[in-house]
Structure 1
């Protein structure tokens, strides 16, 4: 019987000193509990998402030195941990010193084995191949069979030798790779334990899939599998990721026999009978992580961690009376004291009394500080200054005047609220102001650059509009247990209220029809094989029901919204042009996005500012639907 400690720790990126100190504390605690093995996550010492910090040799030397401290602390206990392994006498393809993402096994205060990550993810937020040399690449360079390099680690515990198959994160997600590290380790076994150390960001629903995949691996190899992941917050600049931990142990029959609570740093213990492969323990049920509860937990945790990591204690939120700002206000009020939250309503002549009252009611319900600062005079002054100040051709002396269109006036209002008022108020309040944009708006640039797209963090920008509504209901019913977000704000037509054409009292609102466009936009950017107008029109030509099934929107919706193919195609092209055109320019300058979905804007969705393009096949399908007379 082995006593195993799962070190589900919060890894602080870029702080190997703090991470090592925490690991030493956990090792000491595990020794006091007579644990035989303690397992830490991937890159537990340096952190994982560090950008080009990996190019700093001084940082690498520090990580090595802290790694030696962990090895020295591995006295009577076997310590398995992730760190960077440096080959100072060799270089990578970039000419810099060669680095590996590695798993270290230490015992009796000495290093027993080092195992290099075999598979490097190079999609979504991952960029491993930029910095590290994989075992696959090493095998290619050395002209060796990679399967022969994937050898188990043998260690003596309690007078008995155990064989460990040590892999790192992506090595367990190998279905689409030509190399299967687990199969190779099993073939070079037999194995007593499979150990997967990971640094795996939270994605809505990912753990459900991971449990299916890892359960199958344990069952097929007949080997118990221990998965240890870190908690905390890491980022790659434009996108901020939460790490949920959710460390899990699978018996040799593929049953989950224990797991660590998500988003919680913990040192958990497990008594494992290796001879029975853990089958002596009853299976346990794990929570479904594809729920609004998981979504809230990830966002709440991410915002809280972000505030703490940058030392922010005060927040200013512009509240319009609409749903996005209301959800943002309630979210922050569930994290920090309402006394440290200042809600600001900034009405113009276009704002209805309805939304003004809702903004005040929201503030009253949450107990936050509240102020009203109208923008009418400032907007009029800005418009008058633009139209009244002559523009001079210094060569000819000719003068002209600029004009302010209704559209430009809308943008002036949005920028006045954010760049001038919220920025100034936040400085005076000693805090920051939020960006309340949702993912639907970010997709097509339905926000004003330097206006409502500004802020220190876009906490809701990975949520489609329907998810914002779900979160509003969850905050009311499950978090506050009362109606803090007024029901009228939930039922109100979404509107920017920047012109009389957007009057909420007349039922006028945003041009985005969220029950349909949420799902269309999701197909553009979240589908693994991302959809284009060619795909959308093909599905539409096969029947609106086919399109609705492919997108996942409400049946019958497409026919109700679009009388015929012309209206459908005009709508499709309008949003595609914005998504691949102006929307890109705005997203590049957007605040950091808190990621929770299978693909978030920022580094997770890498974009270039190119011309809008429609494929040849799209043009052919379009001409079939709209024949030229």
Structure 2
């Protein structure tokens, strides 16, 4: 009987000493519980998303040294773990030291090498992802590249690891994360190992970020794989957060065991560090799956991921207090409820910053929100300072030194809007957070972020954009979920949820008169989502093709009949599309580059996940032809 411990550990990126210390404790606990084997995630010692820390030789050597500590601790237990492996005698294509994303197997203080032709005593990752948040070929050398270097087929280097426990030999197919997601690759490592060696079971160690819906897909894929190869598959993932500077990713673990019949027979809880146990012989023949369908709805998944990410990010930057500018609107209200739940209301300061354009309605809602959350609250009027800034600008003399003339400038209504936003953030919230001993938040949602409907150095500022991967409809759903389920009472006022969104930065934005934002969220949420989250991203040509064929609403997922209701003419539709495409591809790019890091939830978050250049908007030839034809038809 092979008793296997699944170590779903929290990996702290860039801290091999802390990770190794935790691994040693897990190993000791597993031994005390009579485990024969313990399995850790991919890159368990260094972490995975480390940026160019991978280019520090001293860091790499430290990771190797801690790896040797783990190998030494494998007395009376088999330890499977992920770590960086280096070969000082070889180089990567960039001329730096050779690095492999490696799978190590150790027993009785020694490494167990794979049984094939590999020149190394560890398993090397075969498939290196280079999409979404991954940039593996920048740092690591794949098994495929090594095979080409050795002038042999990759299949010849793929081999299992064989261990002996209590006199019985087990043949293990060792996979590293992407090696199990091979549908779009020319090579499928799992299939090769199965066909050549028929392993007793497979182990996939992963460092796989949370994405909405991803676990359901993995269960389908891995269940089908285990059934096809007629062998159990053990998947071990980590928890915690990791980032690549501009995007913060949560890792939910959700480690899972599949029997040879494809049944899901064991699953670790999401977002929780745990050490759990399975007996190989018990799971091998199991036919009945446990229920791994998400018992929570999607908005509960979002809530769990966002609160987990906020908590761990704050811990990682050692921030214990936050200041939130609240307008009476939905985004700042949801942010307030989230941070109060994570930090406790005593560590949250809510600030209402009214100008002459803010209504009594929204000022009252801001106050009610603070009362409901029972946190710190202040009203900080900005009208006087805004007028002072306007007066200074209009009364200052601008000297043209090239022709010895002078001029005076007039502040436009649009300028006044931006002055208010910057005064609130760059002046007041920044100062208050410094005095309070914390940071101030960015409350932007994904729709606003998509088209830059925000002010640079104003409401685009903050230490973290926790809602910037959520569309407006998801923010509303999150508000209702927190009222109904998390708090069990109306914390976010009902009127905040029902009022039309409005920036209240000018007389033309009057919430009491129903004059709100230019974004029609029930449509624009879905239009913008097609720009960014579709695997094959939509561009104006696609949108116009779907519009002409009458399939636009089905393609982007918005309410049927909405497009005609919002845009009575072809020209109105085209003007709206081009307005926001120009924003999305233009100034919004510059704003996103300077925006705070985004907490990722969706299949494509802004930051490193969605890589972009400041190239400006582009319209294809086909788009121009369709546009001309439509406008002529009217």
Shift in Å, 1:611: 2.3
Shift in Å, 1:397: 2.3
Root-mean-square deviation (CA, aligned residues, Å) is 1.0
Question: d(CA) in 2 for partners of 1:281 and 1:336?
Answer: 44
Partner of 2:215: 207
**Which residue, 261, 277, 284 being the options, matches 1:278?**
284
Question: d(CA) in 2 for partners of 1:403 and 1:4?
Answer: 73
Question: d(CA) in 2 for partners of 1:220 and 1:381?
Answer: 72
Task: Give CA-to-partner distance per residue, 1:18-68, whole Å, 9 cap, x none.
Answer: 000000000000001110110000000000000000000000110000000
Unaligned runs of 5+ in 2: 114-121
| Paired residues for 1:101-500 under 5 Å | 101-113=101-113, 114-273=122-281, 278-280=284-286, 282-288=288-294, 291-500=298-507
Partner of 1:514: 521
Question: d(CA) in 2 for partners of 1:411 and 1:143?
Answer: 62
**Which residue, 556, 559, 572 being the options, matches 1:551?**
556
Partner of 1:2: 2
**Alpha carbons 1:152, 1:188 under 8 Å: kept:** no
State the secondary structure of the residue aligned to 1:335. Answer: helix
State the secondary structure of the residue aligned to 2:284. Answer: coil
Partner of 2:537: 530
Scaled by the length of structure 2, what TM-score is found?
A: 0.98
How many residues in Structure 1 have an aligned counterpart in Structure 2?
Answer: 625
Task: Give CA-to-partner distance per residue, 1:383-402, whole Å, 9 cap, x none.
Answer: 11111101001243211011
**Alpha carbons 2:582, 2:616 under 8 Å: kept:** no
Partner of 2:593: 588
State the secondary structure of the residue aligned to 1:325. Answer: helix
**Alpha carbons 2:126, 2:189 under 8 Å: kept:** yes
Task: Give CA-to-partner distance per residue, 1:469-492, whole Å, 9 cap, x none.
Answer: 000011101100000000000001
Question: d(CA) in 1 for partners of 2:409 and 2:2?
Answer: 78
**Alpha carbons 2:261, 2:287 under 8 Å: kept:** no
State the secondary structure of the residue aligned to 2:203. Answer: strand
Shift in Å, 1:518: 0.2
**Alpha carbons 1:320, 1:345 under 8 Å: kept:** yes
Unaligned runs of 5+ in 1: none
Shift in Å, 1:290: 6.4
State the secondary structure of the residue aligned to 2:467. Answer: coil
Partner of 2:620: 615
Question: d(CA) in 1 for partners of 2:409 and 2:235?
Answer: 63
Question: d(CA) in 2 for partners of 1:396 and 1:57?
Answer: 57
Question: d(CA) in 2 for partners of 1:581 and 1:403?
Answer: 26
Question: d(CA) in 2 for partners of 1:511 and 1:395?
Answer: 41
Shift in Å, 1:628: 8.2
Question: d(CA) in 2 for partners of 1:112 and 1:41?
Answer: 18
**Alpha carbons 2:327, 2:352 under 8 Å: kept:** yes
Shift in Å, 1:279: 2.4
**Alpha carbons 1:242, 1:595 under 8 Å: kept:** yes
Which stretch of structure 1 is more off in the superposition, 595-604 or 280-289? 280-289
Question: d(CA) in 2 for partners of 1:436 and 1:236?
Answer: 21
Shift in Å, 1:92: 0.7
**Alpha carbons 1:205, 1:290 under 8 Å: kept:** no
Partner of 1:75: 75
Shift in Å, 1:575: 0.4
State the secondary structure of the residue aligned to 1:447. Answer: coil
Task: Give CA-to-partner distance per residue, 1:336-376, whole Å, 9 cap, x none.
Answer: 11111000000000000000000000000001100000000
**Alpha carbons 2:41, 2:237 under 8 Å: kept:** yes
Partner of 2:610: 605
